[in-house]
Structure 1
């Protein structure tokens, strides 16, 4: 299958910042008006921009056209019925989730920080961070030499420095958007994309949380699972509520795909970075998948 079209790099000087923000506004507007299937002309008028510019900008920065994205916002609702209570469990076994040789280890590794690092507030830890404009809003990315440790969509007025200081008050933190740009450019793409370099994640969480996050990594690009399915996949079928808590505590947005978990009846449920953003992420992945643009085992 063909790969997704290449996304532009995130420049340290945000030359595309206005475009990304316009696409983010377009995504939110489309989600709010999806039921009546608005036209490109209506969308362009709502954003006070020409149809041709919006079509070109949206397709370049989001990877699909506004029309295709809108179509699959409704497809997403049908797809949310999931594919049976054993779907994720079967997939997890196919990947060898409970043993060694997990397929996702070939394109992403997840390592937990030690209890000592957590207790010491990150003393001795060197972190580089940057804020990047994306089609889903400004994203704070932080990484250590051993892997990405934070991807967080910033709310209005939320200060990156304060957020990092709360998590790692004793870490050596430096602003270096150039160092985190490559990670930001992969946020909305299949991690198993052919030719993509392996990605390392280094996270802070309990043993149970890390177990849940590993199970999330087994979910293919565009797939959906319920909290109950995820609990069954880790051998804890009665722990759906606890699994929900671990999903909500995920510190690495998109790369650990907590947005792919919904309620068994198909409701999207909560998302720490906003229900509209969650619906948009699911819709964008569905648009790419149903267009046949995603490689197998993504």
Structure 2
């Protein structure tokens, strides 16, 4: 792994997150670099390559205040968005995605008869386990917080009767295009209520956020906040179905299946690219 890889850059960011959490956002560039055994110049270069802004600016994106500012200034009202209709072949959350949902009957059978190919890939947010059917990416999980074995068990456990084939070469084009912002395909495998929640997440544009309550209202279940939160947490295609853009009503981050540091990093990464 070279120091130019996106995974390497994320590892630096992840280490910086730990330092910032312990010592606060007032740390200087020199202080952060020293704690990661890097020169200030090298540290600044890695930050710039990964996120496109200075470490100081990035620290501002990582604070709770930034999440609250996102909610105040970039709050997407999903009810209005969804009234226009979601298209299976439309431009969703600034990526060209086509998606197809598994039928409720097929889901109830636990993926029986479904072949799922999988592999590990470097991404801007660390090593990711990606799974795909013939129709598109159906699973994506990150291993830094839980470990590779737990990530595999997590995704396999969702569709226990499917057959799994390790074949990263077959699905690499899907992964490359997904993180390159080009055309890719998703295969949503979930219960009907979960699919509705994930459709709503797909309507949130990059650099914007919404609340769990808004999602509940948008899908016609305004009192089902807890059920919506559970469905958001069960999203099997992390980042591409952007559950990291769902916040609590007070601007708190809420939970994240693959670890809150990663959710914060994703929001900061997107904010830097949209000029917020």
TM-score range, shorter chain: 0.7 to 0.9
SS of the aligned residue for 1:222 comes to coil
Residue 170 of structure 2 corresponds to 179
Residue 203 of structure 2 corresponds to 218
Q: How far is 1:102 from its partner? A: 5.8
Q: Identify unmatched segments of 5+ residues in structure 2.
A: none
Aligned mate of 1:204, from 181, 189, 210? 189
Q: Which whole-Å CA distance do the structure 1 matches of 2:3 and 2:40 have between them?
A: 23
Residue 8 of structure 2 corresponds to 19
Q: How far is 1:69 from its partner? A: 1.8
Aligned mate of 1:77, from 39, 64, 67? 67
SS of the aligned residue for 1:82 comes to helix
SS of the aligned residue for 1:220 comes to coil
Structure 1 stretch displaced more, 219-228 or 154-163: 154-163
2:122 aligned with 1:137: no
* Greater relative contact order structure (CA < 8 Å, 6+ sep): 1
Q: How far is 1:98 from its partner? A: 6.8
The question of whether the paired residues in 2 share the 8 Å contact of 1:97 and 1:218 is answered with no
Q: Identify unmatched segments of 5+ residues in structure 1.
A: 1-10, 292-298
Residue 28 of structure 1 corresponds to 17
Q: Which whole-Å CA distance do the structure 2 matches of 1:102 and 1:18 have between them?
A: 29
The question of whether the paired residues in 2 share the 8 Å contact of 1:82 and 1:225 is answered with no
The question of whether the paired residues in 1 share the 8 Å contact of 2:88 and 2:100 is answered with no
Residue 227 of structure 2 corresponds to 242
Residue 57 of structure 2 corresponds to 68
Q: How far is 1:233 from its partner? A: 1.6
Residue 90 of structure 1 corresponds to 80
Structure 1 stretch displaced more, 275-284 or 106-115: 106-115
The question of whether the paired residues in 2 share the 8 Å contact of 1:147 and 1:202 is answered with yes
For this pair of structures, how many residues does the alignment match?
A: 272
Q: How far is 1:148 from its partner? A: 0.5
Residue 212 of structure 2 corresponds to 227
Residue 296 of structure 1 corresponds to none
Residue 113 of structure 1 corresponds to 102
Aligned mate of 1:263, from 232, 248, 251? 248
